A and B are shown apart, each in its own frame.
Chain A
Amino acid sequence: MADHTPEDWFRRTLRQAPWRTQTQTTSLVLAVVVIVLVIGALYLAQASRTAAIGRRLQELEARRQTLEQQNAQLRAEIAALRSVPRLIAEAERMGFHVASQQDVEYLLITEAPPPVELTPASPPEISGTVPAYDETLESWLSVQLKAFREQFSDLLQRTFGAGQEPPPDA
């Protein structure tokens, strides 16, 4: 009969049932497993991504090396094509000949202006004193707010057309 007292009722009601303890333990284990799985999955995802980027980096390095080699090869080929012995031989084959003294006429320009002597520009004047840093949090905030207000009013203007300027071809 004692079980029917209010005190017993509260005790029985509040007492931990055995199945609740098991559920809690299971949940805890499951939670740990899930967390470990999530961390593992995140790690794997990150690692595979890094590896993929690394592989891509290696491919790009190899590609860059190949391009540099091809570039060097092309530079060498161009240099060989532009070499003086080859150019002169090619010019002679096309009927040109090396200019002699008789082929060259020098013009005496008596009224030619004298060569301009370049004078270096004077360096910009630099103030001797550097302004002191006097910015405060309040002044910084007011500047930011002012910039934000200007951007906002600009957005309003463009959106609603208030005070819209005529198009350039008008």
Chain B
Amino acid sequence: MHETLSRRLSFVSAILLILVSLIVYRLVSLQFGVDTAYFALIAQSEYRYQVLIRPPRGEIYDRNEVLLATNTVEYEIGMSPVLIYDREGTAGALAEVMGLPYDELLEDMSSPQPYVLLVRPAPAAMGQAVMELNLDGISVTPISRRFYPHGAMASHVLGFVGYDDEGYYGIEGFYNEILKGEVTVGDQSRIPFEATGSESWRSGSDLRLTIVSEIQYLAEDTLARALEETGAQSGTILVLDPRTGEILAMANRPAFDPNRFYSQDTALFTNPAISDPYEPGSTLKVLTMAIALETGVVEPDSTYEDTGVIEIGGIEVYNWDRQAHGVTTMTDLLGKSLNVGAATLALRIGPRRFYAGLEDFGLGEPLGIDLQGEVGGTLRQPGDADWHESDLATNSFGQGLTVTPLQLAVAVGAIANEGLIVQPHMVSQRIAPDGTVTDFEPTVLGRAVSQETARQLSRMLANALEREASAALVPGYTIAGKTGTAEIPIPGGYDPDRTIASFVGFGPVSDPRFVVLIRLDQPTSSRWGSETAAPVFSYFVSRLVVLMEIPPDDPAALASTP
């Protein structure tokens, strides 16, 4: 009896041992066998997940640390109908907070869809209010968004950030890699046991621009008024410091609101100040005169006989007033803006030296400003298939070649800066996430003309404005500058009615602190730059000097002003 029991027990034990051994074998094989990696992957997929970590995008400030671009949060609010148990209560609460119709919400809750989108993007206040309700089946997902607190102001300078978190146009586009930081993929676990905190990420750098918000606002406000008063379709005001190449303001109209880039006409995104070359017209005579003085073909007190017409390369060039002005000084040539005089100078200079001189002023190539989308304009030269001898004459007074407003402002800035061309730039400092500050130093691109030529021409330009009692004059300040009225090329010639009116000048002549370019496209009140752009220049500069705290260099003139 005892033996039988013992044998049965041994048998049962053996069976149990075999079963346990099988289980242990299976466990060991799962843990250490060839399929371990496969099973580990399946397990990890259950409780681990990857998240795209987008570090905060760097902020953009103006020169005085006024915030121009920052980050904010909006929300996506949605619902999972199957997870909502109290439909009436949930719909009532949501209707009150979100302002949506109660019946529509109830209808959404009857949807067979696993997820129903309610609002995207929802404002922060709404998202946070819904979050605080803590309702079953309602999800509130934050969405990072770029925010431009000044709205459309400086929109062409800033550009915008798209839905893909990439920067487009302007500073956002040019410095996209620096601003957006390092996007990383983080590995997160749903098991609290494995929680490790945030993955390390590198935030984007902040940028401090050279523009001044107050000057930018003044430029945009002035431009808006100018368009209204002159009937111009569009325009540009550009302000830069000729000594450093720093852009103090860059305003274009029409502009766009970068906060609502998705609903704007994409044609508005292009920055006309750097991307829309035009025939500058008579403002280019400043460069023609500079090259003439530099090459020694004329002196400031030289004269020429103005017969009212000159023939070059088979075409006849006339003055704007179709008049002959007789013996004319160089200063009067500039003051009266005589095409025949400019063409005469170009002939004396010769094509080789003339075009080399224009290149020295930065024409024909982009200047390398730190904004996305800069173009270089066109400058046909002898040897090019489409260059004609008559181009020498027409180019001398700004026809047949194109420049961007920036190129012209920088070229005239070289006159103000004693002949030196300084590369224009928009960013003055880069502030890394660790606080390291990198300064962007001015870069001299080269010398356009000698110091003596620049000074002579500055005086000539100032005298020309005085003699002509230009509308561009600013009481109390000596201003040098030149008007321009460029006809708009059309197939087969130039449009007889439409013009681009402009004025480019700098001041105070004794110690130039600013170069200002005004461009008005197709004004209707008058076709002439002297009657449209010049008064705008005067109005703008009279306020600019207050903002820049520039004391008058001719106080007597200011005192005599009513």
Residues of A within 8 A of B (CB): 47, 50-55, 57-58, 61, 65, 69-70, 72-73, 75-76, 79-80, 82-85, 88, 98-104, 106, 108
Check A76–B71 contact: CB distance below 8 A.
yes
* 12 A/B residue pairs, CB under 8 Å, sorted by A: A51-B191, A51-B192, A54-B192, A70-B128, A72-B56, A80-B147, A84-B153, A85-B150, A85-B151, A88-B217, A100-B546, A101-B542
Residues of chain B with a CB closer than 8 A to A82's CB: 66-67, 149
Question: Which 9 pairs across A and B sit closest by C-beta, in order of nearness?
Answer: A54-B192, A54-B195, A79-B149, A55-B192, A76-B72, A106-B551, A79-B67, A69-B73, A80-B149
Q: Mark B169-209, 1 if CB is under 8 A from A, else 0.
A: 00000000000000000000001111111100000000000
Q: Cβ of B137 < 8 Å from any Cβ of A?
A: no
Check A104–B198 contact: CB distance below 8 A.
no
Check A101–B558 contact: CB distance below 8 A.
yes
**Cα-based distance from A54 to B214 in the complex (angstroms):** 50
Q: Cβ of B213 < 8 Å from any Cβ of A?
A: yes
Residues of chain A with a CB closer than 8 A to B192's CB: 51-52, 54-55, 57-58
Most buried by B among A70, A82, A83, A106: A83
A133 vs chain B, min Cβ distance (A): 34
Q: Cβ of B231 < 8 Å from any Cβ of A?
A: no
Residues of chain B with a CB closer than 8 A to A98's CB: 543
**Cα-based distance from A53 to B191 in the complex (angstroms):** 11
Q: In the complex, which of the residues B124, B151, B476 contacts A83, with contact meaning CB atoms closer than 8 Å?
A: B151
- Name B130-175 residues within 8 Å CB distance of A: 142, 147, 149-151, 153
Residues of B within 8 A of A (CB): 56, 66-67, 70-73, 124, 128, 142, 147, 149-151, 153, 191-198, 213-214, 216-217, 475-476, 542-543, 545-546, 551-552, 558, 561
Check A84–B73 contact: CB distance below 8 A.
no
Check B70–A84 contact: CB distance below 8 A.
no
Residues of chain A with a CB closer than 8 A to B196's CB: 57
Check B72–A99 contact: CB distance below 8 A.
no
**Cα-based distance from A79 to B150 in the complex (angstroms):** 8
Q: Given contacts A73-B72, A79-B149, are A101 and B546 in contact (CB under 8 A)?
A: yes
Check B153–A85 contact: CB distance below 8 A.
yes
Closest residue of B by beta carbon distance from A101: B542
Check B149–A83 contact: CB distance below 8 A.
yes
Residues of chain A with a CB closer than 8 A to B193's CB: 47, 50-51, 54
B165 vs chain A, min Cβ distance (A): 15
A17 vs chain B, min Cβ distance (A): 24
Residues of chain B with a CB closer than 8 A to A70's CB: 73, 128
Residues of chain B with a CB closer than 8 A to A53's CB: 195
**Cα-based distance from A85 to B197 in the complex (angstroms):** 42
**Cα-based distance from A51 to B191 in the complex (angstroms):** 8
Closest residue of B by beta carbon distance from A57: B195
**Cα-based distance from A76 to B128 in the complex (angstroms):** 16
**Cα-based distance from A48 to B449 in the complex (angstroms):** 79
Closest residue of B by beta carbon distance from A52: B192
A26 vs chain B, min Cβ distance (A): 20
Q: Given contacts A50-B193, A51-B192, A106-B552, are A73 and B151 in contact (CB under 8 A)?
A: no
Check A100–B543 contact: CB distance below 8 A.
yes
Check A79–B70 contact: CB distance below 8 A.
yes
Check A84–B546 contact: CB distance below 8 A.
no
Check B213–A84 contact: CB distance below 8 A.
yes
Residues of chain A with a CB closer than 8 A to B66's CB: 82, 84
A37 vs chain B, min Cβ distance (A): 21
Residues of chain B with a CB closer than 8 A to A50's CB: 193
B235 vs chain A, min Cβ distance (A): 19
Residues of chain A with a CB closer than 8 A to B150's CB: 83-85
B220 vs chain A, min Cβ distance (A): 9
**Cα-based distance from A65 to B51 in the complex (angstroms):** 14
Q: Given contacts A55-B192, A106-B551, are A73 and B124 in contact (CB under 8 A)?
A: yes
Add 12 more A-B contacts to A57-B197, A58-B192, A88-B217 (CB < 8 A). A47-B193, A52-B192, A61-B197, A61-B198, A69-B73, A72-B71, A72-B73, A73-B72, A75-B70, A84-B213, A85-B150, A100-B543
**Cα-based distance from A75 to B61 in the complex (angstroms):** 13
Residues of chain B with a CB closer than 8 A to A58's CB: 192, 195
Residues of chain A with a CB closer than 8 A to B213's CB: 84
A57 vs chain B, min Cβ distance (A): 5
B76 vs chain A, min Cβ distance (A): 13
B194 vs chain A, min Cβ distance (A): 7
Closest residue of A by beta carbon distance from B131: A66
**Cα-based distance from A50 to B189 in the complex (angstroms):** 14
Q: Given contacts A58-B195, A101-B476, A101-B545, are A76 and B558 in contact (CB under 8 A)?
A: no
**Cα-based distance from A82 to B153 in the complex (angstroms):** 13
**Cα-based distance from A106 to B546 in the complex (angstroms):** 10
Residues of chain B with a CB closer than 8 A to A100's CB: 542-543, 546
A166 vs chain B, min Cβ distance (A): 49
Residues of chain B with a CB closer than 8 A to A76's CB: 70-72, 147, 149
Most buried by B among A47, A58, A61, A79: A79
Residues of chain A with a CB closer than 8 A to B56's CB: 72
Closest residue of A by beta carbon distance from B152: A85
Closest residue of A by beta carbon distance from B550: A106
Check B195–A85 contact: CB distance below 8 A.
no
**Cα-based distance from A103 to B545 in the complex (angstroms):** 12
Closest residue of B by beta carbon distance from A75: B70
Residues of chain A with a CB closer than 8 A to B542's CB: 100-101
Closest residue of A by beta carbon distance from B154: A84
B134 vs chain A, min Cβ distance (A): 13
**Cα-based distance from A61 to B191 in the complex (angstroms):** 14
Residues of chain A with a CB closer than 8 A to B214's CB: 84
Residues of chain B with a CB closer than 8 A to A104's CB: 546
Closest residue of A by beta carbon distance from B474: A101
A34 vs chain B, min Cβ distance (A): 23
B2 vs chain A, min Cβ distance (A): 18
**Cα-based distance from A69 to B142 in the complex (angstroms):** 8
B224 vs chain A, min Cβ distance (A): 11
Residues of chain A with a CB closer than 8 A to B73's CB: 69-70, 72-73
Residues of chain A with a CB closer than 8 A to B551's CB: 106, 108
A82 vs chain B, min Cβ distance (A): 7
**Cα-based distance from A100 to B218 in the complex (angstroms):** 12
**Cα-based distance from A98 to B545 in the complex (angstroms):** 13
Residues of chain B with a CB closer than 8 A to A84's CB: 66, 150, 153, 213-214, 216-217
Residues of chain A with a CB closer than 8 A to B194's CB: 54
**Cα-based distance from A65 to B552 in the complex (angstroms):** 53
**Cα-based distance from A73 to B147 in the complex (angstroms):** 10
**Cα-based distance from A140 to B56 in the complex (angstroms):** 51
**Cα-based distance from A70 to B125 in the complex (angstroms):** 10
